[in-house]
Structure 1
Amino acid sequence: MVTPNQLAEVAAAIGEPARAAMLVALMDGRALTAGELAEVAAVTPQTASGHLAKMVAAHLIVGEKQGRHRYHRLAGADVAVLIESMMRIGGGGPALRKPLRVGPRDAALRAARTCYDHLAGQLGVRISDALVAMGAVEIEGDNGLVTRRGLELMAEVGIALPVHPRPRAPRPLCRPCLDWSERRPHIAGQLGAALCAHAFERAWVRRIGGSRALEVTPHGKTALREAFGIRTDG
């Protein structure tokens, strides 16, 4: 049972304009760096770090390191519900000083690209969202699971995956990878690599000028819509 003191600590962690602005910025499901959240809250990076530490201690946000950067996101759906309720009671929410743009400026890289050997950008995240919505994949934190429905779906698409993956396999069957531009997960692991390889083999995508940026072909648009129910026109 939550004590009055614990409730007051959570309220105090939220009840500061800069921290409230940071929490609102994280409401869209993206994960942001301390520098980006400092910009949102109009505070220095040092001040932002102090605010973030307080919110981590209050279990409002969690941090995750990927590559050279550390990202922050809401600790869970219950936190989002809490913030949304407070925004409704308050008649709105703290306005961001300006729209926060993350990731590459290049529109082609933002739309679709490779991330090592799997699909990333808007395309990769849309596929991930579709697989979760279809019950083919389950994602929780840093863990990913391919369900029986997922194995069946991949077989229908023409992608062979191990029915009983080895627990100590050198690479997980499925894991979420935080997308650089979307700041939401796309699919990595064996499943992500298989999806990417299949997309190239079936000419769903092609490289743009030898870069990491990808273009979805007309055939790919149809195939992606039929396989996963996603549209790639915008």
Structure 2
Amino acid sequence: MSHGNDGIKSEAEDSLEQAMSVFASAIADPSRASILCALMDGRAWTATELSIVAGIAPSTASGHLTRLLNNGLVVCLMQGRHRYYSLAGAHIAGLLENLMGVSVQTRHTAVTRTPVPLRYARTCYDHLAGELAVKIYDALLRENWIVADGSALTAAGNAHFTKMGVVMDPRSRRKPCCACLDWSERRFHLGGSAGSGLLSLFDAKGWIQRTAGYREVRVTESGSSALSRWFNLK
């Protein structure tokens, strides 16, 4: 145990480093990474569905999910005879999104090689990311619907979101808004309760279509018209 500044690590420091190592090891396996990336779409999936996405046997997926569960990366919900798995929260999604950004920067030059559909529009746990989300964020700034640093909606922004039908939980402990750095665009998109509310609205209205287990989203014809109308997107 450390006594003063003698250069010896304390038990707390050693314990933290071991915990970080175990946590990182849980993410490191390619199959577990595939499962976590699939869960970044913000929804809950069965072990069988996730095994298909990861290209592994259901029994193998169950073993991986147990480890992710034990390390606090995912949570499990029982619904009848089925078990559904989802990410443990927005903090895990944020960690994974940052890790993806670092991975892209490490492996590639400034010219992005992110797949076109993933780059244009994807889910980032419970909000929209990609080129489309960045365009929406730019529109919010242009129309003065969010404050300059993206931390809150303005009065005009609140009115606009209410008119659209965006529902935000006033009791939530989450930030009402936040500027998330988009890893493929290197610019900001909208996160927080407002970002989550927007994605929920897009889903409910049928403005976007998702593919099970994948983060890419496709904007529908009605969605394209709606986004143009509500955000003045060209």
> Structure 2 length normalisation: TM-score?
0.52
Per-residue deviation at 1:159? 1.3
Q: Which residue of 2 aligns with 1:230?
A: 233
Name 1:109's counterpart in structure 2.
Answer: 118
CA distance in 1, matches of 2:174, 2:211: 29
1:189 partner letter: G
Shift of 1:100: 2.6
How far the C-alpha of 1:175 sits from its partner, in A, is 0.3
| 1:160 maps onto 2:167 in alignment | yes
Take 1:160 and 1:70, find their aligned partners in 2: how far apart are those partners? 30
1:144 aligns to what SS in structure 2? Answer: coil
Matched letter for residue 126 of structure 1: K
Write the distance in 2 (CA, Å) between the matches of 1:135 and 1:172. 19
Give the equivalent residue in structure 1 for 2:146: 137
Of 169, 174, 191, which aligns to 2:194?
Answer: 191
Structure with the higher fraction of residues in strand conformation: 1
Once the two structures are TM-superposed, the CA of residue 211 in structure 1 deviates from its matched residue by: 1.0
1:170 shift after superposition:
1.8
Distance in 1 separating the partners of 2:115 and 2:199? 21
- 1:210 deviates by 4.0
Quick check: 181-190 or 205-214, which moved more? 205-214
Query: Hey, what's the Cα distance between the residues in 1 that align with 2:216 and 2:136?
Result: 17
Following superposition, the deviation at residue 208 of structure 1 comes to 3.8
CA distance in 1, matches of 2:167, 2:140: 16
The answer to whether structure 1 residue 170 and structure 2 residue 173 are counterparts is yes
Residue by residue over 1:85-118, the C-alpha shift from the partner in whole angstroms, topping out at 9 and shown as x without a partner, is: xxxxxxxxxxxxxx8323x521000010000110
- The Cα of 1:68 is off from its aligned counterpart by 3.6
Q: Say whether residues 1:200 and 2:203 are aligned partners.
A: yes
Q: Aligned to 1:138, what secondary structure does the other structure show?
A: coil
Q: Does the Cα contact within 8 Å between 2:182 and 2:188 map onto a contact in 1?
A: yes
Match of 2:128 in 1: 119
Q: What is the aligned-residue identity percentage?
A: 35
Moved >4 Å (runs of 4+): none
Shift of 1:158: 1.1
CA shift in 2, pair 1:201/1:101, >3 Å: same
One-letter amino acid matched to 1:151: N
CA distance in 1 between partners of 2:219 and 2:183 (Å): 19
Cα displacement (A) at 1:70: 8.5
Matches of 1:124 and 1:135, distance apart in 2: 17
Given the alignment of the two structures, is residue 67 of structure 1 paired with residue 76 of structure 2, yes or no?
no
- Hey, what's the Cα distance between the residues in 2 that align with 1:187 and 1:112? 13
Query: Contact (CA 8 Å) 1:151, 1:161: kept in 2 or not?
Result: no
Task: Give 1:209 shift.
Answer: 5.7
Q: Structure 1 residues 182, 155: closer, same or farther in 2, change over 3 A? A: same
Structure 1 match to 2:137: 128
Count of residues paired in the alignment: 134
CA distance in 2: counterparts of 1:69 and 1:218, whole angstroms: 30
- Change over 3 Å in CA distance of 1:110–1:70 after alignment to 2: closer
CA-atom RMSD, angstroms? 2.5
**Residues 130, 228 of structure 1: 8 Å contact kept:** yes
Task: Please identify which structure carries the higher helix content.
Answer: 2
CA distance in 2, matches of 1:210, 1:153: 32
